[in-house]
Copies of this chain bind each other. A is one copy, B any other.
Amino acid sequence: MKIAYLGPQASFTDLAVKKAFPKSEAIPRVTIPDCIEAAIKEEVDYAVVPMENSLEGSVHITVDYLFHEADLSIAAELTSPIQQHLMVHPSNRRSVQELEKILSHPHALAQCHKFLNTTYRGTLLEQTTSTAAAAKYLSEHPEETLGAIGNELAAKVYGLEIVHENIHDFAYNHTRFIVLHKKPVKLELPASKSTQKTTLMVTLPKDRSGALHQVLSAFAWRNLNLSKIESRPLKTRLGDYFFLIDVQQDMDEVLLPGAINEMEALGCKVKIIGSYSSYLLGD
Residue A230 at the chain B interface, CB threshold 8 Å: yes
Taking the nearest CB of chain B, how far is it from the CB of A33, in angstroms?
A: 4
Q: In the complex the two chains form, what is the Cα distance from A106 to B192 in whole Å?
A: 33
Asked, given contacts A53-B233, A68-B170, A213-B213, whether A238 binds B110 with beta carbons under 8 Å apart, the answer is no
Q: Which of B79, B106, B125, B209 contacts A57 (CB 8 A)?
A: B106
Q: Contact: B233 with A230, CB < 8 Å?
A: no
Asked, given contacts A129-B127, A213-B216, A225-B207, whether A61 binds B110 with beta carbons under 8 Å apart, the answer is yes
Q: In the complex the two chains form, what is the Cα distance from A61 to B231 in whole Å?
A: 18
Residue of B nearest to A217 (CB): B213
Q: Contact: A106 with B125, CB < 8 Å?
A: no
Q: Contact: B238 with A79, CB < 8 Å?
A: yes
Residue A97 at the chain B interface, CB threshold 8 Å: no
Taking the nearest CB of chain B, how far is it from the CB of A150, in angstroms?
A: 15
Report the contact-size class of chain A (Cβ under 8 Å from the partner). Answer: 35 or more
Q: Contact: B233 with A33, CB < 8 Å?
A: no
Taking the nearest CB of chain B, how far is it from the CB of A281, in angstroms?
A: 12
Q: Contact: B231 with A209, CB < 8 Å?
A: no
Q: In the complex the two chains form, what is the Cα distance from A111 to B68 in whole Å?
A: 13
CB contacts (< 8 Å) of A113 on chain B: these are: 31, 33-34, 37
Taking the nearest CB of chain B, how far is it from the CB of A222, in angstroms?
A: 9
Q: Which of B55, B172, B209 contacts A224 (CB 8 A)?
A: B209
CB proximity to B under 8 Å, residues A206-256: 207-210, 212-213, 216-217, 219-220, 223-231, 233, 235-239, 241
CB proximity to B under 8 Å, residues A83-130: 106-107, 109-111, 113, 125, 127-130
Residue A32 at the chain B interface, CB threshold 8 Å: yes
Q: Which of B30, B213, B224 contacts A125 (CB 8 A)?
A: B30
Q: Contact: A209 with B220, CB < 8 Å?
A: yes
Q: In the complex the two chains form, what is the Cα distance from A31 to B58 in whole Å?
A: 16
Q: Contact: B229 with A220, CB < 8 Å?
A: no
Residue of B nearest to A129 (CB): B127
15 contacts between A and B (CB under 8 A): A30-B106, A53-B233, A54-B58, A58-B58, A59-B60, A106-B129, A127-B130, A209-B219, A213-B213, A213-B216, A213-B217, A216-B216, A227-B239, A229-B229, A229-B231
Q: Contact: B110 with A33, CB < 8 Å?
A: yes
Q: Which of B110, B207, B235 contacts A173 (CB 8 A)?
A: B235
Q: Contact: A229 with B212, CB < 8 Å?
A: yes
Taking the nearest CB of chain B, how far is it from the CB of A132, in angstroms?
A: 11
